[in-house]
Amino acid sequence: MRVTSCGMTDVGVKRTNNEDNYLINEELQLFVVCDGMGGHVGGEFASAIAVNTVEEVISAMEFQPSSPSGPVEPADVLREKLRYAVRLAGKRIYEKALEEPEYKGMGTTCLALMVAAGNAYLAHVGDSRGYIVREGRIEQLTEDHSLVNEKIKAGLLTPEQAKTHKLKNIITRSLGYMEDVEVDLQVRALRRGDRYVLCSDGLSNLMDTSEIGDTVLEYGPQESVRRLIQIACDRGGDDNITTIVARVDEV
């Protein structure tokens, strides 16, 4: 299996500090985007804890082909390890905020993609987004854990209205707000040519899904990431912008 990837982060045009963090670990084929919140120190620290914890857990992961109850499927193990990694990250952020008052209220989104055993494993908390571009079409894989998305589902807002709503930055699920958190997790069989896009809302708030797909289809991972970030900056860049593109070259 071979994956070509690129990731970049940018402070944007209007912010003075970057609370986003991301990870590309080519050996593990692990990709993570986290968008921190809680002020200059807290948000940056929370997103760093999340990225480092997920990498630590996955690095230490060992697959046992059987258990006392019988054979174990690799997909089941990988899925639960990724879920555990994200939940542990949330627990560590929560505990650090309790220990040190200056970090009170800090938290982060977390979007983690692991490519292994012929599958893509995607874990998600918050409103950072994951997409797949396959056979010329882009599909959003994640559902925003946000107040405006709840209003969209309830029929109270349209997607267009949500983009400019005054409460668009309020998320309903994050790492660090509580000691434990529910993690959305899905598994997709890989296909040659798949492109996975992970991004913080600094990008998705300023670009339509179709625009992201067109850019990723036209260019390779490095150039598409550069162009996506530049487009977001050109449109105001009112938030930090982080993007990863991972292209599946061989399965």
The answer to pTM > 0.85 is yes
Q: Give the chain's mean pLDDT.
A: 93
pLDDT tier at 98, thresholds 50, 70, 90: very high
The token pair that represents 6 in the structure block: 């690129």
Q: Is the pLDDT of residue 26 over 70?
A: yes
Residue 85's identity, in one-letter code, is A
What CATH number has the domain bearing residue 61?
A: 3.60.40.10
In the chain, the number of structural domains is: 1
For residue 67, pLDDT over 60 is answered with no
* pLDDT at res. 212: 98
Give the pLDDT confidence score for residue 173 in this predicted structure.
95
For a pLDDT cut of 90, what percent of the chain falls above it? 79
What pLDDT shows up at residue 75? 81
The confidence score (pLDDT) of residue 66 equals 52
Question: What pLDDT digit, counting tens, does each position of 189-248 carry?
Answer: 999 999 999 999 999 999 999 999 999 999 999 999 999 999 999 999 999 999 999 999
- Identify which has the larger pLDDT, 5 or 162: 5
Task: Provide the pLDDT confidence category of residue 82 given band limits of 50, 70 and 90.
Answer: very high
Please answer whether residues 238 and 12 qualify as being in contact, where contact means their C-beta atoms are separated by less than 8 angstroms: yes
pLDDT grade for 71, boundaries at 50, 70 and 90: low
DSSP string, 138-205: EEE-----BHHHHHHHTTSS-HHHHHH-TTTT-BS--BSSSSS---EEEEEE--TT-EEEEE-HHHHT
Instruction: Identify the pLDDT of residue 64.
Output: 59
Q: Rounded distance, CA 106 to CA 55, Å? A: 20
Which two three-digit tokens encode residue 204?
A: 């998705």
Residue 192's domain spans which residues?
Answer: 2-250
Residue 133: both structure tokens together: 């571009």
Q: What is the pLDDT of residue 202?
A: 96
pLDDT of residue 62: 72
